[in-house]
Chains A and B, each alone.
Chain A
Amino acid sequence: MKNAEVVRNSDYSLKARHNPEYTRVALFVKSFKKLCRNPLSASGVIIVALLLICAIAAPLIATHNPLEQDLARVLASPSLAHWFGTDEYGRDVFSRLVYGSRVTLYIIFLVTIIVGPVGLLVGTMSGYFGGWVDSVFMRITDIFISFPSLVLALAFVAALGPGLEHAVIAIAITSWPPVARLARAETLTLRNSDYVVAAQLQGASACRVLFHYISLMCLPSLIVRLTMNMATVILTAAALGFLGLGAQPPLPEWGAMISTGRSYMLESWWLVAFPGAAIMLVSLAFNLLGDGLRDLLDPRTE
C-alpha cells in the first residue's frame, strides 16, 4: 500500500475545497509579503531596492561628477561637501560609490543573463537526454568545476586582458557549471515524473518537454541559485578589481576603488571603508534575498 502521508489533503474542510482562485499577481503579492515578513529577507529586499534606485537615479543622487578630478582637494576626509570624502584625485567618493552601483549591477546583470540560460540549457539537456549527451556535458562541467572559480576567472582575465567585459566573461565562464549541475539534478528528478511521462505519452517532442515542462520547474530553484550567485559575482568582480584585473580606471568599480584606495588606507580610511562596506552590504543583501527566496520555495530545508 502506498504511504498515506504523502497524500495529505492540505485543505480539508468543505469550504476549502472551493478555495478562492489565486491569480498570478495575487500569488506574487502574497509571496512577496511572506518574503518581507522575515526581517532579514526584508532588509535584503530593501538594500537591493536601494541599489537599483542608486543605479537608476545616479545622476540625481550623486553630489558630484564621479570622474571629475580636483587635484587641489585630494584625500579630503568626509565632510558636508564630500560626504564620504575624496580620493587621491580629489574625486568625490560618495558619487563614485553611487555610480559604482551601475557597474555592479551591470556586471551582475550580464553575468546572470549569460549564466542562467546557459546553465539551464546545458543542465536540462544533460539531465533529460542522459547517455552520451549527459556524459559530454558533465565532463565539461566537471572540468570547469575542477578549478576554484576565482582562479579560473583570474586565468581567463589574464588571458583576455583586464577590463570590465572580460571580467564579466570570465566570471560567467566560471559560474555556469554549478547552475548547470543544479538544473541537471532538478531535471533528473523531473524526468520521470508522471506529468513529463504524460506529456511524452501525448507525443510531445523533446524540445517541448524541455521548454514547456522541465525548464519551468527548474526556474524557482535556479532563481534562488542565481540570486545567491549574484553575491558571489559581486565578490569575484571585486576580487578581480582588487587584483587589478577587473574594471579599469577611471570606472568607479567598488573593488577597484578598494584596490587603489588601499595605498592610502592608513590615513584615508574612507577610501577603503565605504566601498568595502558597499560590497559587503550588497553581497549580503543578495544572500539574504536568496535565502529568503529559498525559504519561500522550500520551507523545509534551507
Chain B
Amino acid sequence: MISIQSLSFDMPGSTKSKRILNDINISIGKGECFGLVGESGSGKTSILKCLAGQFQGWEGAIAIQGKSLAETSLKERSNTMQMVFQDPYGALHPRHTIRKILNEPLAIKGLSDKSERILKALKDVGLDETFLPRYPHQLSGGQRQRVAIARAIILDPDIILLDEPTSALDVSVQAEILNLLTSLHRRHQLTYLMVSHDLGVIAHLCERVAVMKSGEIVEVVSRDDLVEGNVAHAYTKVLLQHALSRE
C-alpha cells in the first residue's frame, strides 16, 4: 500500500539546510496499522508531511498503491490519503461550522448527496446532526478530534495518516478516540500510519512499530516483540522501560 524507500529529506534553512530524515525505509501493507514512535523532533511528523505533499524536494522513492508519489498530484493524492492532526484545536477552522468543515471536501470534489455523506461520516465517529451548526469552539477536544476524523474519512480514503491524534487529550478521552479508530479500521479496512510518542498508544493500535531517533529508523518491531521486550536497540529499550513503568 505504502512503500517508502531510502527517503531522505533536507530542511532548507536560511543559512544551511539541515538533514531531518535520513534513509527511511518502510513498507506498509493494505489494511495494516503501522506505528511510528520516537522522541520529539526525531522526524516522525516529517515523514507524514513528505507523504502528504507538505514537504517537497525529498530524495528517494515513495509509492502509494504502486503509484509513485512524485507523479501524483495533490488532488489525486487526496482521494486515497487523508490526515488527522495532533491538535484538535488547530485542525478545524475556527470560523467554519461543522457542517461547512465536512462539506468542504465534498464541495471540492464536487460530489453529490452531500448531506447524506455528512450524516454518515458523523455517525461513524459517534456524533449526531445536532453538531452540524456548531463551531469548533463549542465542542470539547474529543469531539473536535472526532470531527477531524470524520473529515478524514468522508472522502472514503484508503489511507489515513494520524499524527499524534490523542496526545493532546486526556487519557479518558484518549481511550474514546482509540476505540473509535479501532472500530473504523475494522469497518472500512483502512490503512493507518500513526505517529505517537507513547509506546502504549501505538502498541494498542498498531501491529508493527518503527522506532525513530534523530531522523533515522533505528528498528522496526512487531507488537508481540514489543510486549515481550524483544527489542534490540538501546533507545527502544528506554522507551519500553518507560512505557512499562507507567503501568
Give every chain A residue within 8 A of B94 (Cβ-Cβ): 217
**Do B168 and A7 have beta carbons less than 8 Å apart?**
yes
With known contacts A195-B91, A201-B83, A2–B167 Cβ distance under 8 A: yes
In the bound complex, do residue B141 and residue A9 qualify as a contact, i.e. CB atoms below 8 Å apart?
yes
B162 shortest CB reach to chain A, Å: 13
**Most B Cβ at <10 Å: residue of A6, A11, A198, A208:** A198
Return chain B residues, CB-CB under 8 Å to A204: 104, 108
Shortest Cβ distance from B204 into chain A, in angstroms?
17
The residues of A that contact B109 with a CB separation of less than 8 Å are 202-203
Given contacts A19-B138, A21-B138, contact A194 B87 (CB under 8 A): yes
Residues of B within 8 A of A6 (CB): 87, 89, 168
Q: Which single member of B81, B82, B93, B135 contacts A195 (CB below 8 Å)?
A: B93
Say yes or no: B92 contacts A216, CB within 8 Å.
Answer: no
Q: What distance in Å separates the Cβ of B148 from its nearest Cβ neighbour in chain A? A: 8
Question: Are B108 and A21 closer than 8 Å at their CB atoms?
Answer: no
Contact A203 B78, beta carbon cutoff 8 Å: yes
Task: Determine the distance from Cα of A11 to Cα of B140 in the docked complex, in whole angstroms.
Answer: 8
In the complex, chain A residues whose CB is within 8 Å of the CB of B105: 202-203
CB distance from B133 to the nearest CB of A (A): 7
Known contacts A7-B169, A194-B85; A201 and B93 CB within 8 A of each other: no
Determine whether A199 belongs to the interface, using a CB cutoff of 8 Å to chain B.
Answer: yes
- Report the bound CA distance from A21 to B137 in whole Å: 11
Q: Which residues of A contact B244 (CB under 8 A)?
A: none
Q: How many A-B contacts are there with CB distance less than 8 Å?
A: 86
- A197 at the binding interface (Cβ < 8 Å): yes
Residue A146 at the chain B interface, CB threshold 8 Å: no
| Bitwise interface map of A from 177 to 210 toward B, beta carbon under 8 Å scored 1, else 0 | 0000000000000000111011111111100100
Q: Which residue of B lies closest to A12 (CB)?
A: B140
Q: Are B90 and A201 in contact (CB under 8 A)?
A: no
Q: For window 196-234 of chain A, which residues contact chain B by CB distance below 8 Å?
A: 197-205, 208, 212-213, 216-217
Considering only CB atoms, which chain B residue lies closest to A200 in the complex? B74
Question: Is the C-beta of A17 less than 8 angstroms from some C-beta in chain B?
Answer: yes
B47-66: which residues lie under 8 A (CB-CB) from chain A?
Answer: 52-54
A220 shortest CB reach to chain B, Å: 9
Per-position binary interface string of chain B over residues 194-238, scored 1 when its CB falls under 8 Å from any chain A CB and 0 otherwise: 000100000000000000000000000000000000000000000
Q: Is the CB of B167 within 8 A of A202?
A: no
Contact among B87, B91, B134 for A21, CB-based, below 8 A = B134
CB-CB under 8 A from B74, the residues of chain A are 200-201, 203
* B85 with A197: CB separation less than 8 A: yes
The contact of A2 among B81, B86, B95, by CB within 8 Å, is B86
Q: Is the CB–CB distance between B78 and A201 below 8 Å?
A: yes
Q: A residues within 8 A CB of B168? A: 2, 6-7
Residue of A nearest to B173 (CB): A9
Residues from 24 to 69 in A contacting B, C-beta threshold 8 Å: none
Give A201 to B169 CA distance when docked, in angstroms: 24
| B151 adjacent to chain A (CB < 8 Å) | yes
Contact B75 A199 (CB under 8 A): no
Report the minimum CB–CB distance from B174 to chain A (whole Å). 12
- List residues 88-135 of chain A with CB under 8 A from any CB of chain B: none
A217 and B92 CA atoms in complex are apart in Å by 12
Residues of B within 8 A of A198 (CB): 83, 85, 91, 148, 151
Q: Is A1 engaged at the interface, CB distance under 8 Å to the other chain?
A: yes
**B137: min CB distance to chain A, Å:** 9
Contact status A22-B167, CB under 8 Å: no
Query: Does B133 contact A197, Cβ atoms closer than 8 Å?
Result: no
* Shortest CB distance A33–B (Å): 18
Chain B residues within 8 Å of A217, by CB:
93-95
Picked from B40, B83, B138, B197, the residue with its CB within 8 Å of the CB of A197 is: B83
B90 to A1, Cβ gap below 8 A? no
* A196: min CB distance to chain B, Å: 8
Q: Is the CB of B75 within 8 A of A203?
A: yes
Shortest CB distance A238–B (Å): 36
- 29 sampled A-B residue pairs with Cβ under 8 A: A1-B167, A7-B87, A7-B168, A7-B169, A9-B141, A21-B138, A194-B85, A194-B91, A195-B93, A197-B83, A199-B93, A199-B104, A200-B54, A200-B74, A201-B81, A202-B78, A203-B74, A203-B75, A203-B79, A203-B108, A204-B104, A204-B108, A205-B108, A208-B108, A216-B93, A216-B96, A217-B93, A217-B94, A217-B95
Q: Which 9 A-B pairs have the closest CB atoms?
A: A203-B78, A194-B91, A203-B75, A194-B85, A202-B105, A195-B93, A7-B168, A194-B90, A216-B95
Chain A residues with a Cβ under 8 A of chain B: 1-2, 6-7, 9, 11, 17, 19, 21-22, 193-195, 197-205, 208, 212-213, 216-217
The chain B residues found within 8 Å of chain A, CB to CB, are 40, 52-54, 74-75, 77-79, 81-83, 85-87, 89-96, 104-105, 108-109, 133-135, 138, 140-141, 148, 151, 155, 164, 167-170, 197
